[in-house]
Structure 1
Amino acid sequence: MPEETTAPSARQVELLEAAYRYALAHGLADLSLRPLATAIGSSPRVLMFLFGNKDGLVRALLARARTDELAILDRLGHGGQPDRSGQPIGLVPAVERVWAWLAAEEHRPLLRLWAEAYARSLVEPDGAWAGFARATVDDWLAVLAACQPRPERDSETGAVRRTLALAVLRGALLDLLASDDEPRVGAAVRHQLALLRG
């Protein structure tokens, strides 16, 4: 029998949203409950009651970030919805849209949080971060697959093409976050997309 899950209370949702805004501004690496609780108008005791422990809060924050990531990816790729010709928009246009969003400076807080969670998931595979990196790879690949025409999507070549597209996006994003050199990184993405288009 499946385990029942209870809906979060209004207070839990309110505090999670406040904690998420805090994490976007300050990151998760050195998250301490006392400063977080003070900043969001709560107490460590209330956070522990609502989220179980610090790991539970981190897991809730990562799930919240993943929800944003999925909504953004789905919107940028139009959820694989067809263009006016009735065909999916295609891999290259989808990657162009995703890159334009990733490159926008106002999205850096979310992307830094994503990069931090991705890296922590790789080095702490059994902790609160467990599975985040793998889940986000699967999420992005699914969105890119939905943008490919069915014959390409279902082929081995289609899987290779979307994996390459994802590798380009991920590498470019990490480079951009490290260097803040959008003209150079953007030119490299456009160059790779021209090759992918061919």
Structure 2
Amino acid sequence: MSTLEIIVVSIAGYLIGSISFAVILSKRQGVDIFTQGSGNPGATNVKRILGAKWGNTVFALDAFKGLVAAGWPVLILGEIRLAVIGLIAAIIGHSFSVFLKFRGGKGVATTMGGLLAIMPLSLLIGLLVWVVAFYLTKFVALASILFAFSLPISALNLYGSADPRFTLSLMLCILIFFRHRSNVRRLLQGKENSFKK
């Protein structure tokens, strides 16, 4: 793993992550996603404002960003550590996009796409946690936070504490929780939006 490879993977990952499909698709529908709903340019807010079709499309495209950013270093360079760097860069790009004046989404879908490339079993466990939490509570934010907490627990058991994927999972857990801190406040205040009928 050379310095040049690290730089290339980091820049590519950040730029890939910085593409905001929530903003692009919302604008095509005549909506400024920053002024609607929660104001967050992510799949959940798009789904709430424009419906399931567009929300699910944004989620899939955001996940694809993570898959590409983490997948190509493994396929071309054969280096799991570079894949980890690429995914982290993509999540940072998604959350603090250079194209959006360093604003962005919360990175959950991008995280899931990247994990599919480098630690699919941990992703599967996390998705099960997410689905159960959402089914029971109908709060996307709470399900996403619990998904984040599941990652280091599963990675520790699957890969061990010395593996870079465990370090990645800890960083992702902290980042996702940080990006959801406003949701945590609203949950505690009973003001968080849900998908309950």
Give the TM-score band, short-chain normalised.
Answer: 0.3 to 0.5
TM-score (norm 1): 0.38
Larger radius of gyration between Structure 1 and Structure 2: 1
